[in-house]
Amino acid sequence: MRRNTTRALMVSASLVTWFVAFTGADSPAAPRGDAPSSPSAAPRVQLMDRDREALLRRLLPKVADETVQAALDDPSMILYTELEMPRAYQSWSGPVRGVHAANYNVSANRSERYGNGNREFPWGSPAGTHRTQNVWSFRFVRLPRDDNGRLLPIVWFRQTLSGDYRQGYSWRFPAGAIVGEVLMMRHNGADYAFELRVRTRRRDDWAVDVFRPFPRAEDLVKQIQDLRPEWRQQPALSALVERVEKPGNLPVSVLADHHSVETFRQRMGVFELPSLKDDKLVAELLTGTTFRSALGTHWIEGANGVATAAPTTKAEFHVVPANYDAGFIEVDRESCMRCHSTVNHEVGDFEYGRDWYGRIRGSDGIFSFHPFEPWSVSDNGAPQSVQLRSELIAAGVLQGYTPKKHDPVRYAQVPQLRD
């Protein structure tokens, strides 16, 4: 089934203005969501204007998973970018207590580039994208309902973690919540989804999945051959087919962070896609393909038995962005938990003695979401009063945790995570 490439171009043209803002401007004031009219009514939490939300929804890929597709189609799903929910981390020890913007360097030591860990690998960008250009993302949260159709909220609470002078904020998602991220790349003014990442909250864990248009190398070859029956007469296409069918020995490389206590280290093979030299075909491949699960799947295995989880490329426009490093990140719970388990940890846990501050952003294993009003996130290092987000509270999607009201089993702590 082929979707209309022209539609993607029209959507992207409308996104140009806010994309520029996304890369450097301040977030516009967000309209309040409508409060639900009854316990079973779908809350409308809109953290952006309706037109822009509609544009983002049209950029969502189709997926071959009924549960995930139902979440993507749900009008109550909450969408946000870093415009509406700027990266924010907490610091409740030392001289800079409060909630701070990750982009501001609070360190007085100018040799510290960021002064916090939230801009460094492996926390600085969606996994695998730290060397890419023209890549951005948007996120979503879809909350479940109880047996009576009532929305199950995100719950927040205060606690003092080790090393803190004051209580900080923590939050948990209910079992059944789905949190996702859509990875986009921009080319010639158009935006294309190339990956959808999903985490589903269980009662004692997070299930993970990643949806791609081509989870395996042979999937890409088959689609190219279907779309271009004359592929043998096109040198670039025949070269790619031959490269996949005869991969030879894959070169091996290691991706790791450089902190004294490592969070991420992975040795994997590298498979580089040659350019297709056909932008129209690439657009068709990305917009006309239903994304499928890559869970537990390797992209390709070389003759030497070395595998990679995803391809990379040097081409300016391909089915993955140039310099993409997701090949080092196997799609399974253990692989993903290496980084997600560091949420809300003090940066000193990873390298003690540096002049950097605060915690890794997020809570309950999710980096991108936080419950704070954007204006209460300090962007200059000075303490700000902290207030929770009014739109989320008014819609009933954010509530203070009360054991008598919120099922402790449904909101149980994941053993590997620090709230």
Question: Is the pLDDT reported for residue 157 higher than 90?
Answer: yes
Surface-to-core class of residue 344, CB atoms within 10 Å of its CB (0-12 exposed, 13-18 middle, 19+ buried): buried
| pLDDT (0 to 100) of residue 4 | 43
Average pLDDT of span 180-195: 98
Question: Is the pLDDT reported for residue 235 higher than 70?
Answer: yes
Question: Is the pLDDT reported for residue 6 higher than 50?
Answer: no
Average pLDDT of span 283-312: 97
Average pLDDT of span 130-144: 97
- For the chain, the domains span 217-330
| pLDDT (0 to 100) of residue 374 | 95
Average pLDDT of span 16-22: 40
pLDDT band at 419 (very low <50, low <70, confident <90, very high): low
Q: What are phi and psi of 366, to 5 degrees?
A: -115, 125
More confident residue, 241 or 106: 241
d(CA 388, CA 154): 12
* Most confident among 8-12, 75-79, 352-356 (mean pLDDT): 75-79
| pLDDT (0 to 100) of residue 110 | 83
Question: Is the pLDDT reported for residue 172 higher than 90?
Answer: yes
d(CA 104, CA 417): 26
Q: Which of 93-102, 285-294, 404-413 has the lowest mean pLDDT?
A: 93-102
Question: Is the pLDDT reported for residue 20 higher than 70?
Answer: no
State the number of CA atoms in the 13 A half-sphere of 418 facing the CB.
Answer: 16
| pLDDT (0 to 100) of residue 384 | 86
Query: How do strand 272-273 and strand 312-313 relate by DSSP bridges?
Result: parallel
Which of 269, 242, 238 lies closest to 253, judged by CA? 269
pLDDT band at 43 (very low <50, low <70, confident <90, very high): low
| pLDDT (0 to 100) of residue 165 | 84
Three-class SS state of 50: helix
More confident residue, 286 or 94: 286
| pLDDT (0 to 100) of residue 417 | 85
b/e map 92-102, b = 16+ CB within 10 Å: bbeebbbbbbb
Q: Which of 6-10, 237-241, 259-263, 341-345 has the lowest mean pLDDT?
A: 6-10
Contact 372, 389 (CB under 8 A): yes
As a dihedral over the C-alpha atoms of residue 19, residue 20, residue 24, residue 25, rounded to 10 degrees, the angle is: -90
Contact 74, 9 (CB under 8 A): no
Question: Is the pLDDT reported for residue 341 higher than 90?
Answer: yes
The pTM assigned to this predicted structure is 0.89
Percent pLDDT > 90 in the chain is 80
| pLDDT (0 to 100) of residue 288 | 97
Question: Is the pLDDT reported for residue 414 higher than 60?
Answer: yes
Q: Which of 106-110, 284-288, 385-389, 394-398 has the lowest mean pLDDT?
A: 106-110
